[in-house]
A and B are shown apart, each in its own frame.
Chain A
Amino acid sequence: MRFWPLSRRRTDLSKTTGRRRLIATLPLAGLLLMAPAGAALAQDAAGQSILIGYLTRQEDPRTPASFLEPVATDEGLQGARLALADNNSTGMFLNQSYRLVEQILPQDGDIAAGLKALADEGVRFVVADLPGDALLAIADRPEARSMLLFNARAPDDALRNEQCRANILHTAASRRMLADALAQYLAWKKWTGWSLLTGRDPGDALYADAVRRAAKRFGGRIVAEKGWTFDTGNRRTDTGVTTIQSDIPLATQGPDYDVLVVADEAGNFGDYLDGRTWHPRPVAGTQGLTATAWSRVNEQWGGTQLQSRFEKLADRWMLPRDYAAWLAVRSVGEAAARTGGAGFDDLVAYLHSPDFELAGFKGEALSFRKWDGQMRQPILIAGPRMLVSVSPQEGFLHPVTPLDTLGDDAPESKCRFNR
């Protein structure tokens, strides 16, 4: 288990797909027998069995600019698998068992068909490791009406506002949560003059929107804004370094500021900035001093155990997408353990209730906001090698919980599914 060669990981995926097909041909039998997936489940066949779907599309792995970072071909999925193991360890004592039904579609696969396949198998909790548009498309399908979807990936603020859906809970942090977390820390540091450098991807513009909003909320001043217009070469080419060395001072030239805030979600150029900027100032945002839901640099609050369990399972470190998927699957496990054999509707009601509390290795209980289904959680302010801070920062007060100073609070939410 310690080391999984890439080829074996692929084999495992195809095996899972094979099993799924087999079960799909016998949907009723699968449901009635609760399809034991292993010896541990078989022993518990008399107890409660809970299926959790995992829906995603294959894609080219993200290639980090830094060679120190792992290239993950199974981002998200491994987090769900770890949480499944955690759920089953607990379930063993409660006569509950969990099975993850992995629907990994090809790159151009039909998401709606994937959802239907899960529904046909009796799955009602689905971890959606999907971009925002694909998530919305499945959330409005007829099958999804009797399902609960976990958005374990899309950071889009619109999904928590105008486009919110009652059948979605968000375990991924929103862009506004990340930007607010960073802004609070910068305010605490009194680094209030920001220069904003925005990449060319659509997500980068949305991240920049969240940064502008956070500046207004927490007293930041955006003294300059620029778009990144250069091409960054391959990370292994020698000439790339030379070009970058001359490009970056140009790209960051302008009025002085306290901190350069970069919006580069895909990591196209942000990692190249530090040490090359026109002004000798720190870099923050999507790179440098990064606001993130999870990072390898964090081992506070028992995080050592989560990191080490994950690394044993996945043979790489845990990424924010893995963490969001872990939270989603653990949320189902936590709700099922607390409600002891309750049906789907009661489980969903419990997840939405103030009684629901999940320990997520961040020093306090995580729960879902009732107005938009977002999981409230502390956000790490992580450097490339060390944990720098955790937001919310001391002094940013809130009548209910300081966690709600991050992202959309009830009065400002544009989500209306509760009416």
Chain B
Amino acid sequence: MRSLLCTMLFLAAPALIAEPVLAETIFVSNEKDNQIAVVDGDSLQITNKINVGRRPRGITLSGDGTQLYVCAGDDNRVDVVDIASGKVIHSLPSGPDPELFVLSPDGNRLYVANEDDNMVTIIDIPSRKAIGNIQVGVEPEGMGISPDGKILVNTSETTNMAHFIDTEKRAVVGNVLVDSRPRVARFSDDGKHVWVSSEIGGTVSVIDAGTRKVVKKIRFEVTGVRREAIQAVGIQMTRDGKRAFVALGPANRIAEIDTESFEVKRYFLVGQRVWNLAFSPDEKRLYTTNGISNDLSVIDLERNKVIKSIAVGGAPWGVVVKP
């Protein structure tokens, strides 16, 4: 498949050059290499690899965009990377085995899922201190936060729930059962819905954030791929709220969904076991991390084509794009 993608790249190359220069930088956490691969969005070449703690998975940009926060699960901490120097400058106390986290909209708090400990840890970034934790279900994983920062949604993989947490009270205020092994929780930009992917269930539950009821369950079907291989993981939505993209794990596909009809519009064939995804700042591209084929797929969303796959390192997991 990679050779196919390479061929496609050759065909697409002239078109790429014709496009305006993209200044974005893509950061990929490589779970097996204990590194962050840095990819230049213009040349689509790797420009650096940053050493971080062991088993890096969750990755996000700081509020001002100058730093990266990286969950180093096996080192029980969150590493803070200074993007300019490409170095870890300090670490934050995350509690045991952090896998995924979410930054509060004001950029001051990190909410971390402690997979081994049925807990969500709250980190105050300015003071670099853990300031509290919240008991949730078994194997907390996905973390989503409402645009106003008031409601945090955590998923627990074995409890099969989305836990709604009031960030001020630091308490669980609601629980919604979803399909097996929920992975990612993502609020829509208008704050009205929370999308939760279920890996084993192979579905995405759309939850009304007000009533906390599942209003739609999105199912996927890919010709030639058995149902069990369709495992929904990463979710991203465009800023206009019209399109959503869901990574389907070992189905090696990204599904594009019309958020009004909840219909799947198309599937993109990407690398093997696709975990997570991130838009370019202009939302013309989508980058996906493929954990088994060790590459990053680049999807051109204007032409709806996968234009390149970039070998980024061992077991790429998380991805974030800096404008």
Contact = CB atoms under 8 A, between A and B. Distances in A.
Nearest to B161: A93
Contacts of A365: 180, 200-201, 228
Interface in A366-411: 401-403
Nearest to B74: A304
Interface in B120-179: 137-139, 156-161, 163, 172, 175, 177, 179
Contacts of B308: none
Contact of A357 (B118, B156, B179): B179
Contacts of A338: 177
Nearest to B200: A359
B226 interface: yes
Interface string B224-256: 001110010000000000000000001000000
A39 to B, nearest CB: 14
A410 to B, nearest CB: 18
Interface string B58-76: 0000000000000000000
A266 interface: no
Given A359-B158, A365-B228, A402-B226, A94 B175 contact: yes
Interface residues of A, number: 21
A94 B116 CA distance: 21
Contacts of B139: 302, 305
Contacts of B138: 86, 89-90
B79 interface: no
B115 interface: yes
A401 B230 CA distance: 13
Nearest to B176: A93
A199 B138 CA distance: 42
B181 interface: yes
A308 interface: yes
Interface string A124-168: 000000000000000000000000000000000000000000000
Interface string A297-330: 0000010010011000000000000000000000
Contacts of B180: 357-359, 365
Contacts of B175: 93-94
Q: What are the 4 closest A-B residue pairs judged by CB atoms, nearest first?
A: A90-B159, A364-B228, A93-B175, A359-B180
Interface of A: 86, 89-90, 93-94, 302, 305, 308-309, 334, 337-338, 357-359, 363-365, 401-403
17 contacts: A89-B138, A89-B158, A90-B138, A90-B160, A93-B159, A93-B172, A302-B181, A357-B180, A357-B201, A359-B181, A359-B199, A359-B200, A363-B231, A364-B228, A365-B180, A402-B228, A403-B228
